[in-house]
Homo-oligomer: A and B are copies of this chain.
Amino acid sequence: MLVLSSPSGAGKSTLARDLLAKDEAITMSVSVTTREPREAEVDGKDYYFISQQQFAKMRDAGELLEWAEVFGNSYATPRGPVEAALAEGRDVLFDIDWQGTQQLVEAMAEDLVRVFILPPSAEELSQRLINRAQDSATVVAKRMAEAANEISHWAEYEYVIINDDLERAKSALAAILTAERLKRKRRTGLSEFTRKLVQKL
């Protein structure tokens, strides 16, 4: 389970898309949300767009691994697809904020890798938020405050990538996934493999 967090505008979605395209063994965890779809967003791919009633029902049934409210909208990670992917031996990528990460740590503590993406500078981040044409000035101001709040939680993550060069940031993220998969604690079957090696020598 690989968690990516960052303030919005730091390039997290681009990095996530790149990783998913390059690596067939990892699946995106698609969140549910009660907010309206933005232009170009696809139901079931970017989010599952659901009603407040559906949200409340899933939450009460224990079907959500984590949830958060941002600007009056609810966001959550449905449990079913994550457990199904893990059971198939697939890795799962999460695009969630610091609150979601804390809840996920509590829900599935054992095997979580947390990566925080930082923008190269405040100026660059502000510019990217302003350039998102669909947001009003009020929303931009809110998003900047939210970004500052999100950044303040960077130290709760194991890895930090500064996205000052997109290609380098992509390689960095791929390297983290490669390295984490090489960790002894995740290498089931090595006891058997090495036992046989030692026997035959």
Known: A151-B198, A159-B184. A171 touches B178 (CB 8 A): yes
- Indicate whether A25 reaches chain B with its CB closer than 8 angstroms: no
Which of B119, B183, B184 interacts with A197 by CB under 8 Å? B119
- Indicate whether A71 reaches chain B with its CB closer than 8 angstroms: no
Per-residue CB contact flags for chain A residues 17-60 toward chain B (1 = under 8 Å, else 0) read 00000000000000000000000000000000000000000000
Nearest neighbor of A159 in chain B, beta-carbon distance? B182
Give Cα A161 to B119, complex, Å: 33
Give Cα A87 to B149, complex, Å: 35
Please tell me if the beta carbons of A159 and B178 are within 8 angstroms of each other in the complex.
no
Give Cα A193 to B199, complex, Å: 53
Majority SS at the chain A contact face: helix
Nearest neighbor of A122 in chain B, beta-carbon distance? B200
Give Cα A183 to B172, complex, Å: 11
**A residues bordering B, Cβ < 8 Å?**
116, 118-119, 121-123, 125-126, 144-145, 147-148, 151-152, 154-155, 157-162, 171-172, 174-176, 178-180, 182-184, 187, 190-191, 193-194, 196-201
Instruction: A147-B201, A152-B194, A178-B179 given; name 7 further pairs at CB < 8 Å.
Output: A148-B197, A155-B184, A155-B191, A158-B184, A161-B182, A162-B193, A174-B175
Name 21 interchain pairs, CB-CB below 8 A, sorted by A: A116-B184, A118-B193, A118-B194, A119-B197, A122-B201, A123-B200, A144-B201, A145-B201, A148-B197, A148-B201, A151-B198, A151-B201, A152-B198, A155-B184, A159-B179, A161-B182, A162-B193, A171-B178, A172-B178, A175-B178, A175-B182
